[in-house]
Homo-oligomer: A and B are copies of this chain.
Amino acid sequence: MTGIREFTFTAGELEIYWEDASHSRLQALWLRDHCQMPSSRDPKNGQRLFDITDIPADTAIRRASLEGDRLVIEFTPDGHRSEFELDWLYRNCYCLNLQHDDRSEIHKILWHGKSFSDKLPRQRYADFCKRRRNKLAALRAVRDYGFVLLEAVPCESGQVLEAIREFGFPRETNYGTLFEVRARIDASNLAFTNLGLGCHLDNPYRDPVPGVQLLHCLESSAEGGESVLQDGFMAARILREESPQHFATLSRTWINFRFRDATADLRARVPMIEVNDLDEVVKLRYNNRSIDTLKLPSERLQEFYPAYRHLAEILERPDLQLQFKLHAGELLLFDNTRVLHARRAYSAGGTRHLQGAYSDLDGLYSCLNLLESRQ
């Protein structure tokens, strides 16, 4: 903890000079709004107990004093009194700690096909379930790289749902809570054939899109059928480097995706590359199969196609592709807002049987956050 060297205040602002030579300037209204007293925040869950309109718009600092390790501030015009722990002020000061907490590209480790040599992020399933340290490592791999391989998962039907229960909740959809991936006659979706599938993210036609996908391999005796993964955030970064204009087109052009069969008609209008307010990539949607009729103004259409083609060409570059064969007993757990997956075609002889399921990123990150705070 850093101590305080000196503080001063005006009606509008508190200034703190810290012992480590850093300096905070905190606005009166921000301080009032971030009051941590039990009357302002529920001590159990930190929920704020007042509305912004309960605070006078002309809130100012009347007095500030140091009492032990707390700064006591009295506000006008309502006379509210707040005590702030110095340590809290240091950790939460927006001058000292501007880094934002989200899932954007700047918090990730981007990779290409050779990044892992032969050491993919892996955990034994039993360890993942039983040992906090291993679960933490696996979920960090999902956060950092977008995927993890779980090994020695029992080859039992439905096991993929047990795996989800270890970190979150299944997302049931029109494909079921669990879906079978194997060649099927009269398949309603190309995924359920033995054809190769180009790199894609699942369900861009779904809003909200499932953020986590799991594929559990139960049988793998067919020739071919290798899995390919790609870091979509890396592809987006390369696109931005090679053509800021193309990147901007794909992040600013929302398009319609759609999937329709006898039991569902799913539609979403979303950008291929979703960026946050700082223009950092936070989410991708990419699936050539399910782009609906493009109804863009003529001039935007002319911009869109070269940008889309450029991204597609980047995704076809072999150096971005991580290819491996999923064996029986392995389970691939990945971030469906970032990591694209593909499948090579496989022979009609032999069997390839996966069970898949979706989950959401809220539960996975919540589990990860809890594990990290208990370290």
A288 touches B34 (CB 8 A): no
With A and B bound together, what is the CA distance between A323 and B89 in angstroms? 41
Report yes or no: A294 in contact with B189, Cβ–Cβ below 8 A.
no
Chain B nearest CB: distance from A89 CB in Å?
Answer: 11
> Who on chain B is nearest to A311 by CB?
B52
CB of A270 to closest CB in B, whole Å: 9
Task: Please determine whether B309 and A57 come into contact, CB atoms closer than 8 angstroms.
Answer: yes
Contact among B25, B50, B171, B369 for A265, CB-based, below 8 A? B369
Q: Do B53 and A309 touch (CB < 8 A)?
A: yes
**Could you say which residues of chain B place their CB within 8 Å of the CB of A92?**
293, 295
By a CB distance below 8 angstroms, the chain B residues around A173 are 169, 362-363
- Chain B residues closer than 8 Å to A316, beta-carbon distance: 53
Asked if A22 is at the interface (CB within 8 A of a chain B CB), the reply is no
Complex-state Cα separation, A173 to B363, whole angstroms: 7
Q: Which single residue of chain B is at the shortest CB-CB distance from A190?
A: B47
Using A46-B258, A269-B102 as known contacts, say yes or no to A308 and B366 having CB atoms under 8 A apart. Answer: no
B269 touches A276 (CB 8 A): yes
Contacts of A291 in B (CB 8 A): 48
Complex contacts, A198 vs chain B, CB 8 Å = 51
A126 proximity list for chain B (CB < 8 A): none
Against B, the Cβ 8 Å flags (1 = close, 0 = not) of A77-107 are: 0000000000000001011011111110000
CA distance A52 to B265 in the complex (A): 24
- In the complex, which residues 255-278 of chain A have their Cβ closer than 8 Å to any Cβ of chain B? 256, 258-261, 263-269, 271, 276-278
- Whether A44 contacts B188 in the complex (CB less than 8 A), given A51-B312, A52-B288, comes out as yes
Report whether B174 and A366 are in contact in the complex, using a CB–CB cutoff of 8 Å. Answer: yes
Q: Does A252 contact B (CB under 8 A)?
A: yes
Surface stretch bound by B, among A117-125, A142-150, A227-235, A297-305 = A297-305
Kindly state whether residue A313 has any CB partner on chain B within 8 Å.
Answer: yes
Whether the Cβ atoms of B206 and A208 lie closer than 8 Å is no
Which range contains the number of A residues in contact with the other chain?
35 or more
Query: A6 in the interface, Cβ–Cβ < 8 Å?
Result: no
Measured CB to CB, the closest approach of chain B to A246, in angstroms, equals: 13
Q: How far is the CA of A100 from the CA of B276 in the complex (A)?
A: 23
Contact A98 B295 (CB under 8 A): yes
Min CB distance A343 to B, Å, is: 14
Q: Which single residue of chain B is at the shortest CB-CB distance from A365?
A: B267
With an 8 A cutoff between CB atoms, is A42 at the interface?
Answer: yes
Contacts of A138 in B (CB 8 A): none
Minimum CB–CB distance for A296 against chain B, Å: 6
- Bound CA–CA A198/B46 (angstroms): 17
Residues of B within 8 A of A296 (CB): 94
A29 at the interface (CB under 8 A from B): yes
- CB contacts under 8 Å to B, within A10-47, are 25, 27, 29-30, 33-34, 42, 44-47
Contact with B along A185-209 (1 / 0, CB 8 A): 0001110000000100000001111
Distance in angstroms from A91 CB to nearest chain B CB is: 9
Known: A30-B294, A174-B363, A188-B44. A52 touches B309 (CB 8 A): yes
State how many angstroms separate the Cβ of A294 from the closest Cβ of chain B: 7
Cβ–Cβ < 8 Å partners of A225 in chain B: none
Q: Offer 28 A-B interface pairs, CB within 8 angstroms, sorted by A.
A: A25-B298, A29-B305, A30-B305, A34-B294, A45-B261, A46-B259, A47-B190, A47-B290, A52-B288, A53-B312, A53-B316, A92-B293, A94-B293, A94-B298, A95-B298, A99-B295, A100-B295, A101-B269, A102-B268, A208-B360, A208-B361, A208-B362, A252-B277, A263-B370, A264-B366, A265-B373, A266-B365, A266-B366
